[in-house]
Amino acid sequence: MLNLQGVSFTHPNGDQLFSSLNLVVNNHEKIALIGNNGTGKSTLLRIISGGLPASHGLVRVDTKPYLVPQLTGQFNLLTVAQALGISDKLEALKSILEGQVTLENMAVLNDDWSIEERCKEAFSYWDLTGVSLSQTMGTLSGGQKTKVFLAGIQVHRPALVLMDEPSNHLDLDSRLILNRYITSTSDTLVIVSHDRTLLNLVNEVAELTADGISVYGGNFDFYVEQKMIAEASAYEELKAMEKALRKAKETERESVERQQKLDARGKKKQEKAGLPTISMNTFRNNAERSSSRIKHIHEQKVKGLSQNLQHLRNELPLMDQMKIGFQDTPFHRGKVLVNAKAINHRFNHQWLWTEPLNLQLNNGDRVAIAGANGTGKTTLIKILLGDLEPTEGRIERATFDAIYLDQDYSITNNDLSVYEQAERFNPGLLQDHEIRLRLHRFLFEKADWDKPCSVLSGGEKMRLTLCCLSIGSKSPNLIVLDEPTNNLDIRSIRILTQAITEYKGTLVVVSHDDLLLKEINLDREIVLT
């Protein structure tokens, strides 16, 4: 079905994204393609789909692939039919039914008489009622755009389906439909996703790294288990390497000291023996060469061990050093932060919620806000934070510090550099070198410090945000997460999960990531209808 042999891709500026990739996907296989942000997963899907040529290597596909893209903004000016690539067929069918049975119309239709019926069935399956084929894509929500391309699978009926983050922007019901399709279909699937629930539905995981593609014969849980075994082994190897390095340095010091003592004793003997000056110089030169040779041998051994140790450290996860160190908030647990009674909000003369809301948010609460797309989750967050007042009802808010993290991590200022963004959060307690040390700890090297925040990926913005919180002098009383994992890779989700689990203040989360919600120890859920 799909065979990649030695595939490489180099950007026009000469930067190589990946090289010598090899992968075989057989008929009816369902494989997840994972990897950190920037490794080239989306680019590889475009190459497989035929939308981008590989720089080197062979790409053999036995059928025409269908791609569900992650980014849909480029389709905003097109109609739904045009975005799906079926507008010509629909026009030809319409003309034929109106009596214009020309060779050109028949060739365009290509005997696809059921295309309209398949569109109706597909739109019904993906709950796109009310969306028409003539509607422009720009009028649709993010979730609707994704579902349009998912519906295209049933419209085009491809044997090979490529999906790039297909669960992004989908609400819970739509994710269940997607999961049901993945489980039941006989189509060959290659899926790029960070959605760990979805990743457990496939039977193989392919990890893309700088070293190539490694395939694991199981679902995501199996992959994680294998990685943990490898990590444990690597940590043991790291400990052994550190011990060997300490021993080598100790041996080097002892050897140099022993040689120096031998040289000193030899020199005294030579002086007592009254040897001529030329002989004394010869003995001294020989001793210096011997000491230098011994020192060089040990230095080379220590250097080799140090290089191996650094390489091993670079290969290990950096979770332990990316600690935020959240302090306890100054409020006592249970202090009322927000008390809302019978609140509701009106848009265009229509109430947002079917029933007014009564809720209380106390210090230390960990709350999820759930509901289908359009039920007002983001509106409720704005009301809780004081950015919006409800149309009806009464709300009381204490004075508290809050951090709002949306899926784009908009807390980062795109006009600032990475260093300037970090400096904004410094209350004056940290010196310049300490800020740079924090940035390094969160994987921002010297070459990154002058980068504008506008060029950072979702995962990089998340790491920079957590770094900024670690620089701040005190923990916020409230952290609000609004779909925080939508643009994150697996490693970044793991980093975020660890940070939020450590946080002791008040947490409000809007997320469709079931595993994230399970891992961060929530107290309760507010369901909006």
CATH number of the domain that residue 151 is part of: 3.40.50.300
Print the domain residue range for 501: 336-527
Can you give the pLDDT at residue 278?
Answer: 56
Give yes or no for residue 78 having a pLDDT over 90: yes
Can you give the pLDDT at residue 147?
Answer: 94
Contacts of 177 (CB under 8 A, 6+ apart): 125, 126, 127
CA distance 268 to 258: 16
330 located within any domain: no
Residue 383 shares a structural domain with residue 349? yes
- Mean of pLDDT values over 339-355: 90
Quickly state the pLDDT bin for 368 (edges 50, 70, 90). very high
Residue 200 shares a structural domain with residue 109? yes
328 located within any domain: no
Can you give the pLDDT at residue 134?
Answer: 92
Q: Which residue has the tokens 């040689």?
A: 259
Contacts of 186 (CB under 8 A, 6+ apart): 28
Q: 311 or 435: which carries more pLDDT confidence?
A: 435
Contacts of 456 (CB under 8 A, 6+ apart): 412, 418, 464
**Percent over 70 (pLDDT), the chain:** 84
Element (H or E) spanning 508, and its range?
A: strand 506-510
Residue 181 shares a structural domain with residue 280? no
Q: 79 or 326: which carries more pLDDT confidence?
A: 79
Residue 245 shares a structural domain with residue 222? no
Burial track 2-15 (b if 16+ CB lie within 10 A, e otherwise):
bebeebebeeeeee
Residue 279 shares a structural domain with residue 307? yes
- Count of the separate structural domains present in the chain: 3
What are 230-276's pLDDT values in tens digits? 767 766 776 777 777 777 777 767 666 676 666 566 556 655 555 45
- Mean of pLDDT values over 39-46: 91
Can you give the pLDDT at residue 304?
Answer: 61
Can you give the pLDDT at residue 393?
Answer: 94
CA distance 496 to 506: 16
Find out whether 170 and 195 touch, Cβ atoms under 8 Å: no
91 located within any domain: yes
Residue 370 shares a structural domain with residue 284? no
Can you give the pLDDT at residue 271?
Answer: 55
Can you give the pLDDT at residue 327?
Answer: 59
| Most distant CA pair in the chain, distance | 123
- For residue 233 the two structure tokens come to 């082994």
Residue 213 shares a structural domain with residue 245? no
Give yes or no for residue 370 having a pLDDT over 80: yes
Domain closes at, from 200, 226, 252: 226
Residue 175 shares a structural domain with residue 280? no
Top-ranked range on mean pLDDT: pick from 144-153, 304-313, 398-407: 144-153
What are 456-502's pLDDT values in tens digits? 877 788 888 888 888 876 778 899 998 888 777 777 788 888 888 88
From the number of C-beta atoms within 10 Å of its C-beta (0-12, 13-18, 19+), residue 489 rates as buried
Find out whether 340 and 390 touch, Cβ atoms under 8 Å: yes
Residue 244 shares a structural domain with residue 219? no
What are 174-230's pLDDT values in tens digits? 999 999 999 999 999 999 998 888 999 999 999 998 889 999 999 998 988 887 787
Residue 217 shares a structural domain with residue 351? no
CA distance 120 to 315: 50
Q: Give whole-number Cα distances, 329 to 406, 438, 519, in Å.
A: 22, 22, 22
Residue 208 shares a structural domain with residue 240? no
CA distance 514 to 196: 8
CA distance 362 to 295: 65
